[in-house]
Amino acid sequence: MKDYVITLMDEKKYVQARKELIELNAVDIAEILEEIDTNNALLLFRILPKDVAVDVFANLSNENQKYIINAITDKEIQYIMDELFFDDMIDILEEMPAIIVKKIIKNTKEEERRLINQFLKYPSNSAGSLMTIEYVGLQKEMTVKQSMEYIKKIGIDKETIYTCYVMAENRKLEGIVSLRKLVVSDDHKTVEEIMEKGVIYVNTYEDQEEIAHVFKKYDFIAVPVVDKEERLIGIITIDDIVDVIEQENTEDFHKMAAMEPSEEEYLETSVFTLARKRIFWLMALMISAIFTGSIIKRFEDVLQSVVALAVFMPMLMGTGGNAGAQSSTLIIRGMALDEIELKDVFKVIWKEFRVSSLVGIILSLVNFIRLYYFQSVDIKISMTVCTTLFIVVVLAKVVGGTLPIVARSLKLDPAIMASPMITTIVDAVSLFVYFSIATRFLGIA
Amino acid sequence: MKDYVITLMDEKKYVQARKELIELNAVDIAEILEEIDTNNALLLFRILPKDVAVDVFANLSNENQKYIINAITDKEIQYIMDELFFDDMIDILEEMPAIIVKKIIKNTKEEERRLINQFLKYPSNSAGSLMTIEYVGLQKEMTVKQSMEYIKKIGIDKETIYTCYVMAENRKLEGIVSLRKLVVSDDHKTVEEIMEKGVIYVNTYEDQEEIAHVFKKYDFIAVPVVDKEERLIGIITIDDIVDVIEQENTEDFHKMAAMEPSEEEYLETSVFTLARKRIFWLMALMISAIFTGSIIKRFEDVLQSVVALAVFMPMLMGTGGNAGAQSSTLIIRGMALDEIELKDVFKVIWKEFRVSSLVGIILSLVNFIRLYYFQSVDIKISMTVCTTLFIVVVLAKVVGGTLPIVARSLKLDPAIMASPMITTIVDAVSLFVYFSIATRFLGIA
């Protein structure tokens, strides 16, 4: 399709290209524009029907949005900004450089400019930064018939008309009524008779993670946002929350791999930024691994006398690290999904103890058979390795399962207690256990 | 609230308890019922208004659903099953033991029974298993006025009325029209004039991950599901997809920590099941770590002559593992979000090479200063360790970034090429490099 459109553009068959494009969803049109050269893209953008152009604009990359804003007239900018839903406009303004923001704001009305400034002040990742103001507001005295006539008049400009918000004169939220309820109710009933009073809402300063939980729990498609006096300020719709959910998950993935989280796409991030997000934790973990090395140094003479012990160090440290990572991942994920809470810590410890004992016995037995029967390793060394393996697996899983909960209780993000951190701790402990047992079993002074 | 309700129940003030409860959202009522004893829960459930009871039932745990089905009359079961949305009913039937399923189906009409059996056959995690049949179907000849009257009549029973589906006589999907469009359009217009023709749909057998992508990409609240002949079979709504997204993410988390994915909540999973999901990979990685051990064995004499080399093994292996995990996590996540594709492999290699060189140089320098200046370690050993560190970081990141892409090209899940696998590979390579360099620098035969 893209190639067909490009061919049509090259042949200057603009009307035909436009005809092809408008059959598609705005998201797909934006994708095509992203991939063709900027001159043709600008041309195509200009000949699209105005309302389609606005939707397409909202879906372009920031780069292309900048390019287009720089290239079109002030009047065209004003049209786009007027038609965009408020939250999309705020998103765009947050990403544009100051000179483009000035150009855009120059072309918006005074009242809207004040609102924009207010919204840009909300902390990123808060309800205030996600919400939009294009909701349907009704009064409880209105009849169903009056409400439907009102919605018919103004509905096309609203982000959603499917949930309507009933406000008192001071804008205090009194209830909500779904469009479905309005459609199926008798014309003469009042909004007050059919609305739901127990409204679930969020505050402007609440974090997006909290809001995502509300959506997931109640299966809402929109949630009202109120200020400290419970006055309705705006609404957040489900499509924005789906993006938030993925963002929060990506953040967890990054933190659990010992990186500063990044919101940019990988291929669009500079080498320098990628390095900067990785170096801190790599350095910190490297330095703590030095502590592990000092344990080996302390037992250097043990190693000197039985160098064969070194052969099993990777297997012990690796298995301990993997076992610990399994536990910590399950607990971190369980806490993120609200399935595990702080008060469950003893249940978790007891569960991990039993699971690790079971797993540890199996691994130790398999290993013992491998070492003693297949590789004819000295019985004392085999015993040392396998006993250590069992202890390491149990310790790793109990520690791996508990540390994220400890982190949460200290108001830290549990995700930092993931594989890299757990592995470093478990490495140190395993080696200490290993050499201590070796000293005893092998009768080394 | 829960304690208040229990107190009311104990005092047999049932009407009061009911009054308190019906102010709440069905999800919250279900939460309260979960926490009170089963006798009181059953009592409360029975005195709830019928339509509320159905919503509450859909939100109970499987355990409590089983208990209630066993305890109530056939007539009550029939009512619940009639009122439940089809996809919720299928979800419940999939989780109930056979004897309960029999009891439920005994009380459903013949036609519905056939439909249920058809739906239960769809593979789990496919569109067929997620969809529901309660959608609004219109014909293109209907006017807006006729459509609104129709929706008013049947809308209360539909999962969603916000997107309506326009079908030809043979049920072939011809277009969609949003309720918003209907509400804001003139009464006399026909559906054909206002509907959208380029419908984006999914097939019954498509995997839920694909469907989640469609929702995320286009910000839909419902998507139609068609069969091979493009006939409309059902719809999937956004609330079910939000659950799917979290499920898919949890699956990735588990795989990346070397576990078989589990859909159950951690605290509700038995010790035996937890152990079973962990043992396979732990065993496999343990056995591959044996390979790493054999590298040490091969260089045993090197270690014997310079035992001090063992001191730095954890730091080298650990840093390599962490570095590799950072890269593989970014690439796996990028592929899951469709930001990185197979064709980007060379861009990724080149990017990782540059990032790792930058990070590697910084880490090596810091380490050298630490070893040589602060701990007065022999210069040759310091050089050995730091050179190895640099090579290990570069290798780890390039390998860590590339292997997930290789896995995807072999039609494997990239998530298996995460920390545990990468770490094991990087460990072996780092030790080989370490001892080879040591042999040269330290002039060991």
On whether both B53 and B150 belong to a single domain, the answer is: no
Would the pLDDT of A416 be above 90?
no
* pLDDT the model gives residue A169: 86
* pLDDT the model gives residue B444: 64
- Residue A69 C-alpha from the chain's centroid: 29
In a domain, A257, yes or no: no
On whether both B74 and B21 belong to a single domain, the answer is: yes
Residues 89-108 of B with CB under 8 A from A: none
Which domain CATH number covers B391?
1.10.357.20
Residue A333: list chain B partners with CB under 8 A: 250, 253-254
User: What's the pLDDT tens digit per position in A197-225?
Assistant: 888 999 998 999 889 989 988 888 899 99
On whether both B152 and B29 belong to a single domain, the answer is: no
Residues 114-153 of B with CB under 8 A from A: 148, 151-152
Residue B281: list chain A partners with CB under 8 A: 322
Q: Which of B287, B435, B47 is nearest to A375 (CA)?
A: B287
Interface touch A267/B312, C-beta < 8 Å: no
On whether both A78 and A156 belong to a single domain, the answer is: no
B329 contacts A253 by C-beta, under 8 angstroms: yes
CA triple A71-A73-A77, angle to 5 deg = 95
Q: What are B245's two structure tokens?
A: 């997204």
| Sign of the C-alpha dihedral computed for residues B89, B91, B94 and B97 taken in this order | negative
Average pLDDT, chain A: 86
d(Cα A293, Cα A428) in Å, to the nearest integer?
Answer: 8
**Most B CBs within 10 Å, among A24, A223, A302, A330, to test the B interface:** A330
Give the residue from A194, A221, A237 where a domain finishes.
A237
B215 contacts B168 by C-beta, under 8 angstroms: no
Interface touch B337/A250, C-beta < 8 Å: yes
The two beta strands, B173-178 and B163-167, are: antiparallel
Beta strand extents in A219-320 (DSSP E only): 222-226, 232-237
B223 contacts B202 by C-beta, under 8 angstroms: yes
Question: Looking at the partner chain, which of A238, A348, A359 has a beta carbon nearest the beta carbon of B278?
Answer: A359
Residues 329-388 of B with CB under 8 A from A: 329-334, 337, 339-340, 344, 347-348, 351, 354-355, 358-359, 362-363, 366-367, 370
On whether both A317 and A435 belong to a single domain, the answer is: yes
Element holding A286 (H helix, E strand)? helix A271-298
Answer whether A22 touches B (CB < 8 Å): no
* pLDDT the model gives residue B419: 75
Beta-ladder partners of A166: A138, A175
In a domain, A116, yes or no: yes
Q: What are B85's two structure tokens?
A: 């949305």
User: What's the pLDDT tens digit per position in A234-260?
Assistant: 999 998 888 888 888 888 888 888 888
Residues 6+ apart with CB under 8 A from B46: B53, B72
Q: Which of B136, B139, B69 is nearest to B106 (CA)?
A: B69
- Which residues span the domain enclosing A361? 289-441
Residue B219: list chain A partners with CB under 8 A: 27, 239, 242
Interface touch A283/B366, C-beta < 8 Å: yes
Q: What is the pLDDT along chain B (445 residues), one digit of tens a residue?
A: 777 877 887 788 888 888 888 878 888 888 888 888 788 788 888 888 888 888 899 888 888 888 888 888 888 888 888 888 888 888 888 888 888 888 777 777 777 788 888 888 888 888 888 888 888 999 999 999 999 999 888 887 777 888 899 998 888 999 999 888 888 888 899 999 999 888 899 999 899 988 998 998 888 889 999 988 889 999 999 988 888 888 888 888 888 888 888 777 888 788 888 888 888 888 888 888 888 888 888 888 888 878 888 888 888 988 888 899 899 999 998 898 888 889 889 999 999 999 999 999 999 999 899 888 888 888 888 999 999 999 999 999 999 999 999 999 998 888 888 877 888 888 888 899 999 998 888 876 5
Question: Total domain count for chain A?
Answer: 3
Q: Which of A327, A320, A324 is nearest to A385 (CA)?
A: A320
On whether both A70 and A208 belong to a single domain, the answer is: no
ipTM, interface predicted TM-score of the complex: 0.79
- At B121, is the secondary structure helix, strand, or coil? coil
* pLDDT the model gives residue B393: 94
In a domain, B226, yes or no: yes
A402 contacts A327 by C-beta, under 8 angstroms: no
- Residue B122 C-alpha from the chain's centroid: 19
Would the pLDDT of A70 be above 80?
yes
Give the residue from A121, A146, A162 where a domain finishes.
A121
- At B49, is the secondary structure helix, strand, or coil? coil
* pLDDT the model gives residue A121: 84
Question: Looking at the partner chain, which of B155, B315, B359 has a beta carbon nearest the beta carbon of A183?
Answer: B155
Which domain CATH number covers A197?
3.10.580.10
User: What's the pLDDT tens digit per position in A10-59?
Assistant: 788 888 888 888 878 888 888 888 888 788 788 888 888 888 888 899 88
A139 contacts A167 by C-beta, under 8 angstroms: yes
On whether both B88 and B59 belong to a single domain, the answer is: yes
d(Cα A75, Cα A87) in Å, to the nearest integer?
Answer: 21
Residue of B nearest to A214 (CA): B27
User: What's the pLDDT tens digit per position in A334-367?
Assistant: 888 888 889 889 999 999 999 999 999 999 999 9
On whether both A418 and A295 belong to a single domain, the answer is: yes
Distance from CA of A372 to the nearest CA of B (A): 14
- At B174, is the secondary structure helix, strand, or coil? strand
CB-count burial class (<10 Å; 0-12, 13-18, 19+) for A176: buried
In a domain, B383, yes or no: yes
In a domain, A281, yes or no: no
In a domain, B279, yes or no: no
The two beta strands, A202-203 and A222-226, are: parallel
Q: What are B325's two structure tokens?
A: 């995990």
Residue of A nearest to B147 (CA): A183
Number of H helices, E strands in chain B: 22, 6
Distance from CA of A115 to the nearest CA of B (A): 26
B423 contacts A318 by C-beta, under 8 angstroms: yes
Interface touch B367/A431, C-beta < 8 Å: no
On whether both B96 and B146 belong to a single domain, the answer is: no
Distance from CA of B106 to the nearest CA of A (A): 31
Would the pLDDT of A386 be above 60?
yes
- Specify the residue for token string 């041309």: A43
- Specify the residue for token string 């029939």: B78
Element holding B37 (H helix, E strand)? none
Amino acid at B425: I
* pLDDT the model gives residue B356: 92
Residues 393-412 of B with CB under 8 A from A: 393
On whether both B307 and B395 belong to a single domain, the answer is: yes
- Residue B402 C-alpha from the chain's centroid: 24
Give the residue from B121, B150, B170 where a domain finishes.
B121
Interface touch B183/A200, C-beta < 8 Å: no
Interface touch B221/A200, C-beta < 8 Å: no
Phi, psi values for residue B360, rounded to 5°:
-60, -40
Farthest CA pair distance, chain A: 95
Which domain CATH number covers B70?
1.25.60.10
Residues 6+ apart with CB under 8 A from A50: A79, A83
On whether both A400 and A307 belong to a single domain, the answer is: yes
Q: By mean pLDDT, which of A178-182, A226-230, A302-306, B387-391 is the weakest? A: A302-306
On whether both A302 and A164 belong to a single domain, the answer is: no
Residue of A nearest to B288 (CA): A315
Would the pLDDT of A445 be above 60?
no
Residue of A nearest to B299 (CA): A311
Answer whether B221 touches A (CB < 8 Å): yes
Interface touch B303/A307, C-beta < 8 Å: yes
In a domain, A254, yes or no: no
In a domain, B246, yes or no: no
Q: Which of B214, B182, B176 is nearest to B196 (CA)?
A: B176
Residue B243: list chain A partners with CB under 8 A: 216
**Most A CBs within 10 Å, among B144, B259, B272, B290, to test the A interface:** B290
